[in-house]
Structure 1
């Protein structure tokens, strides 16, 4: 693979042969790597390529690039928009940097990128690994001879559990008659959190409701669940993720989800439509 071999030759640090950069989505890159990329690419540089060169290689339009110029950190915005595409991989990003003759960036960040990739690979996001371990045994309290299927997986942090109870009342215990997968209620104890979560999101649940709050932004579990679900539906083509905001937030809405239509319970003028809209979205095939 061109991106892997050439990128590794640009750095003195060893490149693990097991890392296939083209198989790792760009969402695997953490905040530290993205911040460093911005420090390299945000400044307009007459000598070296900047973020606009990267944007053109990513096939962003002239108008899109001009709009990104207004952002405080255009490189970060660029990556967040690009990573929703199916072709957005770490390998592709490394290729773009090579083509732009920014091997200085690859040399500096190679070790950190490798660390991000290894962490991503350690989480059981590969479907065959997850499937083979859990199809023949129960992982939820409803499993019997066949695995139980759900309309939606509820992604939430512990402090928002009261609203999760309201979701259950409004969507399960009414005429909507939906079946939700709530981890604390439905998952059997003694199982591997990462692998069970991956299995449920990908194979057992049609959609995922993401309960957004200030505490959600600090939750590692929610971060993994959201990024895993996003990797299954780049560009939101299958309407798989449905962000829900149920109370005012002090912190900014997560940028990784801002391209999705939000179901907002905080607006009094639309509260009467909230549950109908959400139930309809979860009832789609």
Structure 2
């Protein structure tokens, strides 16, 4: 049984007030033992309502409901127990008996609402609420983490949902990629769906995975997102769009010169592996290893060397190194350079000997007289020389004939 001393009159439901009005609005001629009217007039008298208010109550269509409203407005702490005491003074035990069940029910409902009201919700943080675009964001923020980022945003026509399911299964379950799908991941209640998708494509997704088909090209929204992603890629100088041809169609103009993965030719190569490699971003570990490799041969900044006595010696050693010295030419590829260097060395050595007054052995060349004594057998009669002799003999005969005629 409910404790009516703790339940205020404001807890009364409309059903309980309707029952009280039905029983107390009709006028009663016979008063109670204490001379109190047994209708709504006695209720107004025992609630100590002023006399000037009574005419307005009498003219009201529901005097009892009007009295309860004025009482709760005047003092909200008046309880149902006070109403029962007043009804007892009015000798209206019939009203107490008839309204007992409704009072119990209203008291129970009021107590439950009060218990629930003790657990209040947190105030809304607009800054965090504006960042939450997907269900993953909600879970991560509750766990104290940052918002979710994705490998790619999947954009396809509603009619190609079966292929989209296959794509999600292969890329997420098999290759551990994180895809963002509008109907699956977008949080409900977003102020503007297109604005949320644009923010995801430009800021939270590395790629835009496009499933090309005639149904895709017939959607103005998909064309808009495709154009927007292309503009974002140009602005950020980033490979943004990954097109996949699902059903034969003419690609849009902005993809005419872009390589497109054809799902219909997947029997010739590993389609899902190629798609995975196209979407996946470069691992940060690879970048870190390349930085470590570069640090193995660091560039010495002379200005940052400490001021120690050894610094001048290091500077002197560095100055002796020719930085822009061109590499020596290899005699393997340039044999004439070796010959020139050898002859130059020979000349230098001979000049040194002459300067010291020493004799230099000069090879003796044959005299002009000795040329006449050379035997013909020592001459290499090559075809070229034989031809030259023949030409000379013909010229001699011609000159001799001209001299004779003259």
- What's the TM-score once normalised by structure 2's chain length? 0.35
The structure that has the greater radius of gyration is: 2
- What's the TM-score once normalised by structure 1's chain length? 0.49
Structure in which a larger fraction of residues adopt helix: 2
Q: Which has the higher contact order (CA 8 A, sep 6+)?
A: 1
